[in-house]
Structure 1
Amino acid sequence: MRSIAIIVAAGRGTRAGEGLPKQYRLLHGEPVLRRTLRLFSEAPGIDGVLPVIHPDDADLFAQAAGGLPKIMAPIAGGESRQSSVRNGLAALRDAMADIVLVHDAARPFATGELIAHAIAMGRSRGAAVPVLPVTDTIKAVNAEGRVTNTLPRDTLRAVQTPQAFSYKALLAAHTLAAEAGVLELTDDASVMEWAGHAVFTFAGEPTNMKLTSAEDFARAERDHAPSSRPPRWSELNDVRTGTGFDVHAFAEGDHVILGGISIPHDFALSGHSDADVGLHALTDALLGALCDGDIGAHFPPSDPQWKGASSDRFLQHAVAKVHALGGRIAHLDLTLICEAPKVGPHRDAIRASIAQITGVPVARVSVKATTSEKLGFTGRREGIAAMASATIRLPLAEDDA
């Protein structure tokens, strides 16, 4: 029987805080979505992996999925999780799928054993979900916050993914729900239950956590350190250096953003994004070291989706490209050129911000500031310029060995 995994990755993840959608944020130097895709693409019982993504995330997805086996062309998601899964199911009409597993992109810690168990339960039961016992006392409350009922814990379970179903049955249930205007069911088991199907359970995994908040990411960094070591510096013999340069003019405002840090000032910086001149220069430096164009090629200012965008997204994109090639960032050096504001009092905060965005130890991040001795546009206090260099180390290609 042919088994396909649908990875739901179309959400915006706003509860995780500002920055990239949570599925593209780095976890131990790797995008969350890549960890999830790799888990399913390497599972022996999975014949194909269908990602459902936001239409605006095509470039981010391409970087996260590059080089992984079994990955099918991504499908655009809908306005809700339910509609996104329905889009994925519809795209599989010609894929000859017998069993479909539906999994959240933000659950990167499921195991191969759990996937195998899900496939087996999908084949034998037609609809099955992994669950955990509920250990807390659960109370129902009304709109005023008054307790109306205490639910018996022995009959309650917390539901995880991957959820496994007969493909034809799940597609029919989703189609029926959509036609009936039932559009906000929160998981696929609920869709099957609504359509009258019996849904069975099997043991989930306590470590199969879903990344929802910033606190979840912090806990994941602490509790799920990678078991395999990163490549040693001695194994990365292709040493490259790239440079970047950017300028932004002042405009009306009361602060500037430099290196991801908001600094009070009499003006703001003008730009299509948040005009973080420092992060833009660093992004170009990394792209230069990779011989992969410049920031404008990857994030064109003509594209309205980048209007007002936080520039940490651009820098994380370049970092992910380094990691996708098996490389590491050895050193980042940023020089900010302006008469004002004074950068010195914020230097350490900027270094820490860049280190957090890139996953590079702060000891490998340098930030300097200088003036142009009142010469040129920076000397006339018309804007800020930034120069950056980035040193990366990549595995030596066989052709170069």
Structure 2
Amino acid sequence: MSIITDVVVVAAGRGTRAGGDVPKQLRAIGGVPMLRRTLERFVQAPRLRRVQLVIHPDDAEACRRACAGLPRLAPPVAGGATRQASVRAGLEALAADPPDVVLIHDAARPFVSIALIGRAIDAALAHGAAIPTLIVTDTMKTFGPDGALGAGPDRARLRRVQTPQSFRFPLILDAHRACADTDLTDDAAVAEAAGHAVFGFDGDAANIKLTTPEDFVEAERQIALTLADIRSATGYDVHAFAPGDHVMLGGIAIPHGFGLSGHSDADVVLHALTDALLGTIGAADIGKHFPPSDPQWKGAASDRFLAHAVGLVRAEDGVIAHLDTTIVCEAPKIGPHREAMRARIAEIAGVPVTRVSVKATTSEQLGFTGRREGIAALATATVRLPWRDA
């Protein structure tokens, strides 16, 4: 019998120590919201069934944008006044269809690895309650009331604690229910307060928690060092006009005296961007992934194509640095719809709108676009990928 594992990701805090004008879990690192970076690690983990996100109610729309296109996400639930209350809310949300094992992770740890997730699952199965730990390498001292330093505890018996903490689901749910009136610092403390032994397993030094402004500076530096393989690729698409009352461009329906002819919704902008992104990772072209001969794509919304290409880049641990497109047509006018297109493309790609450019030009009445027979689009995508030797 297979073991079912879910994860609760806690993202309901305000993160005031990190500074900035948004909660820290929604701040961008390497051009991607930290929350999305964290969730991407879990949705890519092969042994996980479902991700239960716990958020602050005020962040619902921002979280929806940050999570757009990610698979295996349960509907988010609102957290409580404390981390402990927020974790319990996530556990209760899973209780109707409970897993065998649950991991509990802080959204502010975006560098959690697939290997660490696997060790967490194995430790929960072996012990019932387990947490990732790191050996303390610094000498520890006690601090007296007169300012004098004492001998301190035995460093060999100390451990630094991380998340994801892992548990048999009934054990930790019952423990949280029993300790609902307490305010404990982590889920291991909740399990211990309910009378359960908690075991340690090997953590990961890279699995840092971002708390202060300095932490974010270090995270940006690490991402810049890691994502040293910068790639650009281009895409091009064209569709002829056909009977209709609107055209789809950049994911936006624009009223027009004609439609565009194509097997899908014929969105030349999203098609060109899809090909550009696929080109950055050498993943062929849109026709390879979504053959026009396949009837399932007839009339399909092209945001699915772009989201697929984005997912493939993310699966390579890539970061989308910029998306640029130029639309070539005599009509309709693009200017009034430019910002709506930028916003929609940014939403599909999961990037800030500042990383999306939409431009338009005519062909001076030359060629098929000049004769108003159709619309063309050119696109360029720039991504940053981890450096891997060939």
TM-score normalised by the shorter chain: which range applies? 0.5 to 0.7
SS in 2 for 1:291: helix
Is 2:363 the partner of 1:291? no
Retained in 1: the 8 A contact 2:342–2:357? no
1:290 and 1:95 map into 2 onto residues whose CA distance is 42
SS at match of 1:151: coil
Residue of structure 2 in register with 1:329 after alignment: 355
Q: CA deviation at 1:139?
A: 1.9
Structure 1 residues 80 and 287, CA gap change in structure 2 (3 angstroms): farther
Corresponding residue for 2:62?
A: 60
One-letter amino acid matched to 1:119: I
Code of the residue aligned with 1:96 in structure 2: it is P
Give the equivalent residue in structure 2 for 1:118. 120
Which blocks of at least 5 consecutive residues in structure 1 are unaligned?
241-285, 295-317, 333-391, 396-401
Q: What is the rounded CA distance, in whole Å, between the counterparts of 1:330 and 1:59 in structure 2? A: 20
Q: Distance in 1 between matches of 2:44 and 2:69?
A: 12
Q: Who is 1:162 aligned against?
A: 164
User: 2-side partners of 1:40 and 1:173: how far apart?
Assistant: 24
Cα distance per residue 1:264-323 (max 9 Å; x no partner): xxxxxxxxxxxxxxxxxxxxxx996352699xxxxxxxxxxxxxxxxxxxxxxx996374
Q: Does the Cα contact within 8 Å between 2:68 and 2:347 map onto a contact in 1?
A: no
User: 2:211, 2:346 → 1: CA distance?
Assistant: 21
CA distance in 1, matches of 2:213, 2:15: 10
Measure the CA separation in 2 of the matches of 1:205 and 1:231.
Answer: 29
CA distance in structure 2 between the partners assigned to 1:186 and 1:34 by the alignment: 24
- Cα contact 1:31–1:320 (8 A) shared by 2: no
CA shift, 1:98, in A, is 1.0
Change (3 A) 1:393 1:214: farther
Query: What residue identity is the alignment partner of 2:187?
Result: D
Change (3 A) 1:325 1:104: closer
Q: Assess if the C-alpha contact under 8 Å between 2:234 and 2:379 holds in 1.
A: no
CA gap 1:235/1:217 in 2 versus in 1, 3 angstroms? farther
Paired amino acid for 2:44:
E
Question: Could you say if the C-alpha distance between residues 394 and 48 of structure 1 is closer, same or farther in structure 2, counting changes exceeding 3 Å?
Answer: farther
* Equivalence map 1:93-242=2 (5 Å): 93-142=95-144, 145-178=147-180, 181-183=181-183, 185-225=184-224, 226-227=226-227, 229=229, 232=232, 234-235=234-235
Structure-2 change in CA distance of 1:122 and 1:146 (3 Å): same
Q: Structure 1 66/193 Cα, relative in aligned 2: closer, same or farther at 3 Å?
A: same
- Structure 1 distance, partners of 2:217, 2:95, is 40
Q: Percent same amino acid at aligned positions? A: 43
**1:107 touches 1:211 (CA, 8 Å); kept in 2?**
yes
Q: Deviations over 1:70-120 (max 9, x none)?
A: 000001011111110011111111122110000010111111011011111
Please give the alpha-carbon distance, in whole angstroms, between the structure 2 residues aligned to 1:172 and 1:23.
28
- Change in Cα spacing, 1:326 to 1:20, as seen in structure 2 (3 Å) is closer
SS of equivalent residue, structure 1 residue 141: coil
2:31 is matched with which residue? 29
Structure 1 contact 29–323 (Cα < 8 Å) conserved: no
Q: Are positions 1:49 and 2:51 aligned together?
A: yes
Question: What whole-Å deviation, never above 9, does each CA across 1:239-284 have from its counterpart, x for those lacking one?
Answer: 98xxxxxxxxxxxxxxxxxxxxxxxxxxxxxxxxxxxxxxxxxxxx
Q: C-alpha offsets along residues 318-349 of structure 1, whole Å, 9 cap, x if unaligned? A: 996374179873669xxxxxxxxxxxxxxxxx
Letter in 2 for 1:74: P
Judged with a 3 Å threshold, the aligned counterparts in structure 2 of structure 1 residues 393 and 194 are, in CA distance, closer, same or farther, namely farther
Change (3 A) 1:293 1:101: same
Q: Distance in 1 between matches of 2:234 and 2:202?
A: 43
| Counterparts of 1:172 and 1:202, CA distance in 2 | 23
CA contact (8 A) 1:3 1:100 kept: yes
Aligned residues: 268
How far off is 1:182 after superposition? 1.5
Shift of 1:5: 0.4
Runs of at least 5 residues in structure 2 that lack an aligned partner in the other structure = 239-248, 251-334, 359-377, 382-390
Contact 1:41–1:69 (8 Å) recurs in 2: yes
Write the distance in 1 (CA, Å) between the matches of 2:340 and 2:155. 57
**RMSD (Å), alpha carbons:** 3.3
Contact 1:16 1:22 in 2 (8 A): yes
Residue 14 of structure 2: aligned partner? 12
What letter is aligned with 1:49? V
- Contact 2:34–2:108, Cα closer than 8 Å, also in 1: yes
- Specify the code of the residue in structure 2 equivalent to 1:26: A
Residue of structure 2 in register with 1:310 after alignment: none
Structure 1 counterpart of 2:234, which letter?
Answer: S
Question: Quick check: 1:23–1:32 contact (8 Å CA) kept in 2?
Answer: yes
